[in-house]
Amino acid sequence: MPTITHYLALSLILFTIGLAGVLIRRNIIIVLMSLELIFNSVNISLAAFSYFLQSINGVVFVIFSITVAAAEVAIGLALLVTVYRTRRAVNVDELNEMKG
C-alpha cells in the first residue's frame, strides 16, 4: 500500500514541475498548461489527505477545485485570444489578409 507520503511526494514533484513551467517557459500557452499541472498536483494532495484522514471534505474540495480550474481556463484562454488578436490587429497587412 502506498502511504500518504508517497502521494504527497508525487504531488510535490508535479507541483514543482508546474511551478517551474510557469516561471521558466516563455510560450504563454504552455504557461497556462503548467498552471493546470499545479492545480492537478494540489488535487492529488487533497484527495490523498481525504483518503488517509477518512473524511470526505477533501474529495468534495477537489470537485470544487476542478470546477474552478475549468472556469479559470476559460478565462485564461479568452485573455490569451484577446491579447493575440489585439497584437495581430495592430498589424495592418494582416488585417487586410483577414478580410480577404
Partner 1 sequence: MNLASLNINIYSLLPLLMVVGLALFVLVLDFFIPRGGKRALGYVSALGLVCILPFVPMFIETVPSYAGFVIADTYSAFFNVVFLVSSAFAIFISIDYLRRLGSESGEYYYIMLFATAGMMIMASANDLIGLYVGLELMSMSFYILVALRPGKGAEGALKYFVLGAMSSGILLYGISFAYGFSGTTNVNEMAAIVYRLPDNNTYLYLALALIGAGFAFKIAAFPFHVWSPDAYEGAPTPVTALLSVGSKAAAFAVFLRVFAVALPAFHGQWSDMLWVISAATMIFGSVVAIPQKNIIRMLAYSSIAHAGVILMGIVVNSSAGASAVLYYSLVYAFMNVGAFTVAALASRGDGGEQLTDLRGLASRRPWLAFFMALFMVSLAGIPPTAGFMAKFFVLASAVHAGYYWLAVIAVISTAIALFFYARVIFYMYMRDYEGAELPERSLFTCVTYGVVLILTAVGTLALGVYPSAILDIAVRAVGPLFTI
Partner 2 sequence: MLISYLAVLIIIGFVSLLGIGALVASYVMQPRNPYREKLAPWECGMEPIGEANRGKFRIHFFIIAILFIVFDVETLFLFPWAAILNDKSLSLFVFVEMIIFVAVLALGLVYAWVKGALDWI
Partner 3 sequence: MEQLFFYIFSIVAIVSAILVVSVRNPVHSALYLIICFLQVAAMFVLLRSPFLAAVQVFIYVGAVMVLFLFAVMVLDLGKERLKDSMHSQSILGGALAIVLFFIAFYLVYNGDIVAPLGAYTETALMKNTEVIGAALYTKYIYPFEVVSLILLVALVGAITLVMRHKDN
Q: Is 54 left (phi over 0), alpha (psi -120 to 50) or beta?
A: left
Of 89 and 98, the one with the shorter C-beta distance to partner 1 is: 89
Name which of partner 2, partner 1, partner 3, none residue 65 binds, using a CB cut-off of 5 to 8 Å depending on partner kind. partner 1
Shortest reach from residue 24's CB to partner 2, in Å:
25
Name which of partner 2, partner 1, partner 3, none residue 26 binds, using a CB cut-off of 5 to 8 Å depending on partner kind. partner 3
Shortest reach from residue 93's CB to partner 3, in Å:
16
Q: Is 51 exposed, middle or buried (0-12, 13-18, 19+ CB in 10 A)?
A: middle
- Contacts with partner 2 by CB under 8 A lie at 63, 67, 70-71, 73-74, 77-78, 81, 85, 97-98
> What cell numbers appear for 34 in the block?
503548467
> What cell numbers appear for 50 in the block?
481525504
The whole-angstrom separation of Cα 21 and Cα 6 is 23
Of 12 and 94, the one with the shorter C-beta distance to partner 2 is: 94
> What cell numbers appear for 13 in the block?
514533484
Of 64 and 97, the one with the shorter C-beta distance to partner 1 is: 64
